[in-house]
Amino acid sequence: MVHPTLDPALLPTFLDVLRHGGIGAAARATFLSQPAVTARIRRLEETLGVPLLIRSRGGVTATPAGEKLARYAREVQRLLDEAEREVPSADVHLGRLELIASTTIAAYVLPEALARFRQRHPSVPIRLAIGNTDEVIAALRSGEAPLGLVEGFARASGVHLEPWVDDELVPVLGGDAPWRPRSAAELSDVPLLWREPGSGTRAVVTRALGAAGVRKKPAEHDLVLGTTDAIVGAAAAGLGLAFLSRWVLGPHLASGRLRAVPALGLALRRTFHWALPGGRPGGAAGRFLALATAHPPRPT
């Protein structure tokens, strides 16, 4: 009988859970989703064939097997850090890093992860293609890229999705905009700024507005814009209400260019997912996937 191989990329998440005392606390600290953290712990337990955590109202503690694994995991991390310092780079064997990501992720989430990868692998060429979520999925299905990142989807035919980091769309208006909606129902009188069809952001907004009984598609006085930056500019200019990722908003809210609208009772949470056309990729894409999974970025 062939036993599954333990994936070392899962060990940092296991240590985070022990360090923070619970699945939810570890998820918040690392900006992963709770399902993503739970799935990684479950994969470790399935691989080893033993429970690793004892769950209680007060949080989680390690089983005896979990304590033993934690000792090995810390030693693995120490050895990897030492290896990175001491061993010359073998980047030539990794090939080029090729990936495709939807627009918000490419502009606001990936740069930190790419910078970390470049620091460790300075000679690996990087090619990042950008499209909306539908275009990313199509590129992966056709074999144009070995790795992708999408927003808005929880599943896609022919592509394996793995959760990475959480996000929330925040309703915002320009700092001087006249509208003051206090509920989803009041959005019927406010122009909305939409992304184009095929956008993951648009898919989330469409579902949330439909569930709240608000229009599910642009009205005559709404605007449809093809990029996040165009949406930001239009909202700041007072052209309507936008739904923007919390990864985007920090500087714009701090400057007063945009203001967040109080909760409207809309379900606007989502998760950014890795999109894989088959098994886990090798080469530079596999190395980047493991590094970005172990060290997820955080919004500013």
**Could you tell me the CATH number of the domain that includes residue 39?**
1.10.10.10
Please give the pLDDT value at position 84. Answer: 64
**DSSP states along 166-200:** EEEEEEEEETT------SGGGGGGS-EEEEPTT-H
Handedness of CA 56, 4, 10, 112 (dihedral sign): negative
Give residue 13's domain range: 8-87
Domain stops at, among 87, 117, 135: 87
Report the share of the chain in percent with pLDDT over 90. Answer: 41
Please give the pLDDT value at position 157. Answer: 76
In this structure, are 173 and 263 located in the same domain? yes
Domain stops at, among 69, 87, 105: 87
Is residue 140 in some structural domain?
no
Is residue 108 in some structural domain?
no
Q: How many domains, the chain?
A: 2
If we measure between CA atoms, which residue out of 142, 146, 145, 147 comes closest to residue 158? Answer: 142
- CATH number for the domain spanning 204: value is 3.40.190.10
Is residue 64 in some structural domain?
yes
Please give the pLDDT value at position 85. Answer: 62
Is residue 70 in some structural domain?
yes
Is residue 30 in some structural domain?
yes
The pLDDT tens digits for 205-236 are 999 999 888 888 898 899 999 888 999 999 99
Is residue 113 in some structural domain?
no
Please give the pLDDT value at position 2. Answer: 45
What are the residue ranges in the chain where pLDDT is below 50?
Answer: 1-2
For residue 149, the SS3 value is: strand
Is residue 99 in some structural domain?
no
Please give the pLDDT value at position 192. Answer: 95
Task: Supply φ then ψ for residue 174, to 5 degrees.
Answer: -65, 150
Is residue 253 in some structural domain?
yes
Residues 276/142, Cβ–Cβ less than 8 Å: no
pTM: 0.68
Domain stops at, among 87, 103, 130: 87
